[in-house]
Structure 1
Amino acid sequence: MDNFNIKLLNGGFNNCLPDWSSQVTNDNCYKIYFTTEGEAKLIINDQQYELKENNVYFINGYKLQEQICYSHMDVYWIHFQPYSLFFNKILDCISPVYNWKHNNQLLDNINFTHILSLFNNDDNVKNNIIKTAPLATSMYVTSCILLLISDMIENQKKKISKISFGEYEKLKPTIDFINNNYTESISLEEIAEQVYLNPTYFLRLFKKNFNITPRQYILKLRLDEACSLLKGTELSIKEISDKLGFCNQFYFTKSFKKKLSVTPSEYRKLIILP
């Protein structure tokens, strides 16, 4: 069984106003929203999704194109990423927006206000980054999100029925190897050796299963960690570049901007919003 766990990135409570509509960037994460008042609209794959008050939503931030708030929307929110490449594939296969209505019994015992206990929620600082949260609170919020995801997957089984678990199990040693060594310079041949496959065949099989090459996956891991380090530490751009195995700071900055549309320095200054 793979690691079906998640990494909590940031979260909080916000009153979204019309200027929130202009805040869309590549979020590089998935989201959970619990809307308490007002409404908004999301556009993903050119399809519109209405966000209504007192509902809970799963949102694929990787695919988000536009967000619109005409008046206001109050929302508890949390951003997260799966630890597992396979878990990420499952979430990417299901609907990009999923809705639990306010009368859904699943929500009766979920207290979304605990999100605030996890994050620095100083009213004067809107970057809500995890600092030192009680372990029980972190476990509670994580378990609530996994409960929602399991319900969502159960109700969309047809969408993931074609995913090949057998091929994934065959490739899992290579994913573990990458996860443990992504800051190092590792070759395709070294990765393929973990499952005794010809590198060319392995590359084709990996891309078929995950819609990404091993090299692209390594870059994704590095950039995901870079986002965490930029917001959660005071390490310099060069120190982060070196720590994550980029050949130089220029290539790190170029790769980061290509993926997230901002430079590392600009990302560090961004206010994290829902």
Structure 2
Amino acid sequence: MNMDNRMLLSNVLANLEVELITANHNLCAPDWRDLNYTPDYSKFYLICEGEGWLQIGEKDYYPRPGELFLMPEGVEQSYSFISERPFHKYWCHFTAQVGGINLFKLLDLNPQCAPRQPELLTNVFQELVKYSGSDAVYAKLLAKSKLMELVAYYLMDLEIDAEQLSFKTSSAVNKLSEVLDYIDEHITQNMTVEELAGIVYMHPNSFIRLFKQYAGMPPIQYITHKKIEKAKQSLTLTALSVTEISEQLGFNDMFYFSKQFKKHAGVTPTDYRRRIRHP
């Protein structure tokens, strides 16, 4: 995976929103079986022991103990017992979206994952099941954090073969990579959506939808974010005044620059520099 793709993937994951539907840990019933259905939610199975069969899309799998399987939303699936030793497994149903779009429609992933630290995944699942069944005030928030951990560990384990972390629509990714390069090269200028859309010969409205789908935010918001990150570097590494940094990055209005900086960094540029130099 090249650097631009990694940058896009990082943006997608930074804007990921997950919702847990349910989670449990049990022994599958002897009649555990369903064929050719397409769920409107995704599932994780962590196999503890036993035997069974999964079909995800057009491919058959016979999971082994210790393996983690993703059964993504919107993909036709089947499952069944195959012996007198049914699966004993942890499982959860959930949704994962970026900008309202199913994460697994954006990424081309291998459903089968062999965790490098299966005991770590077991511990996360144990916590997930505990919080999902709790009526404590903070239980849902803690369950969501554990679900986010599961997604992260799944993707991290797949990165053993980095090419498995690729986007499904390579032409769209290539277009966005070209735009991201342009933004980096012209970060000191004020760019418009029409200008960026013209680089890849797209209508501005279509370009905004595509950009948000993969970058997780609209293009102008992304540009502002990159400018503020550049301003942080200048505040940390140079003696330039706040006004000079603002003008260098194309902000003609100091008040607007300070407002945007505080919105992204949580403090004003002056306070940021003070905290960096006197932690």
Give the structure-2-normalised TM-score. 0.49
Give the structure-1-normalised TM-score. 0.50
User: Which structure would you say has the larger Rg?
Assistant: 2
